[in-house]
Structure 1
Amino acid sequence: MTHQPPIRIGVLGTHSTGKTTLLKRIQMELRGHGLTVARTGRLAKRAAAIGLPKMQHHTAASTEWIITQGIADEIAAAAQGAQVILADRAPYDALAYYHAALEYRSEPPPRLERERLWLLASTQAPKYHLLLATVLDTDIPVDQNHDYDPRYRSLVDHHVHALLADDAIPHQRVASDAPSQAHAIERALQLCLQEAAV
């Protein structure tokens, strides 16, 4: 007996731009239409819990862990029968955080490590039916419980969109306004309903 591969939707973008909230709303809509949905995430927190650096301190090792753990989580969700997998932090997201950390620290980019991590992330891009890239709006205040460095946050936003553009990765930009959010949710919903009907 063969099973149809799951529909994969990934979200990426700098911190506190609504990635997790967006995926929760998509998840709720999809479940309302009877689809089995798995949502992966919390990769940066899990990495930090085992002692790996995060944010502007990211290294090649922490980036590789986040990318490969995300891949493993998606494989597990597929094995458990999810019709739709919502990936909070698609692989290019981790790559952007790493590139931003190097620029933030004014460190010369280690060519071999960057190429290896780019190759790892790029092999995963074709697996996604839809990538949603959130856009930073600096006018929206950040939760005061988060002590984010605004320069690093902006660098991540820049690198997310630059990587997607440089590699011509199909994606949808998602701004913070309600119509943009609603359009992203509707696109995800229509895609999943169409694919599930095939």
Structure 2
Amino acid sequence: MTTPQPIRIGIMGTHSTGKTTLLKRIEMELRAHGIPVARTGRLGKRAALTGLPKMQHHTATSTEWIITQGIADEIAAIRPDPEPIQVILADRAAWDALAYFHAAEEWRQETQDPLERERLRLLASTQAPKYNLLLAKVLDEALPVENKHDYDPRYRTLVDHHTHTLLTEHEIPHQRVTGDPDSQAHAVELALQLCLNQTTP
């Protein structure tokens, strides 16, 4: 018996732009409407716990781990009756890892083997059709970063640049989300209406 595929909503963007917070808002709205939902995430932290490099030290190996683990998490979130998951919220869609990797290369002034870059691009591209809605956070450098985070500001900006460059160059449908409250509310409403229209009561 084939399990119905849930709606997938992915998010991407540079760090400390409110990706997880936005997905939590969407999750709360969906649950309030009685829609079973699962949220994946913490990929960067989990990769670091395995000893893989992170942030500006990302490599092809750590990038591949994040992409494939994200795929595995989304598959694992699909559960059968009695209450099948109808929506999966993916914190860090597959293209996100690629943007972080390209930014790390530029930050280090390195260039990966073209065949390796293409292999990772193809891996990420296999996931693009799965997302019913892809949200792309936009960096607002005027907003402060929490003191507990010691981020390299140049790398953070590079990730933002590569995120939106990848989406544009590969013509991937997405919704840009800024730090403006109206933009965030619009993203939540888009996700809610998508799910209400396509899920069973």
The runs of 5 or more residues in structure 1 that have no matched partner are: none
Q: 1:5 and 2:5 equivalent?
A: yes
SS of match in other structure, 1:78: coil
Q: 1:151 and 2:158 equivalent?
A: no
Q: 1:69 and 2:69 equivalent?
A: yes
Q: How many residues align?
A: 198
Residues 155-180 of structure 1 show CA distances to partners (whole Å, capped at 9, x for unaligned) of 00000000000000000000001000
Q: 1:27 and 2:27 equivalent?
A: yes
SS of match in other structure, 1:9: strand
Q: Which residue of 2 aligns with 1:169?
A: 172
Q: 1:189 and 2:192 equivalent?
A: yes
C-alpha root-mean-square deviation of aligned residues, in Å?
Answer: 1.1
The runs of 5 or more residues in structure 2 that have no matched partner are: none
Identity over aligned pairs, percent: 72
Residues 30-51 of structure 1 show CA distances to partners (whole Å, capped at 9, x for unaligned) of 0000011000000000000010
Distance 1:189 1:3 in 2: 22
One-letter amino acid of the structure 2 residue matched with residue 169 of structure 1: I
Q: Which residue of 2 aligns with 1:48?
A: 48
Which of 99, 111, 114 aligns to 1:96? It is 99
Runs of 4+ aligned structure 1 residues displaced above 6 Å come to none
The TM-score normalised by the length of structure 2 is 0.96
Q: Which residue of 2 aligns with 1:137?
A: 140
1:3, distance to aligned residue in structure 2 (A): 3.4
Q: 1:124 and 2:137 equivalent?
A: no
Distance 2:50 2:116 in 1: 22
The TM-score normalised by the length of structure 1 is 0.98
Distance 1:148 1:66 in 2: 20
SS of match in other structure, 2:136: strand
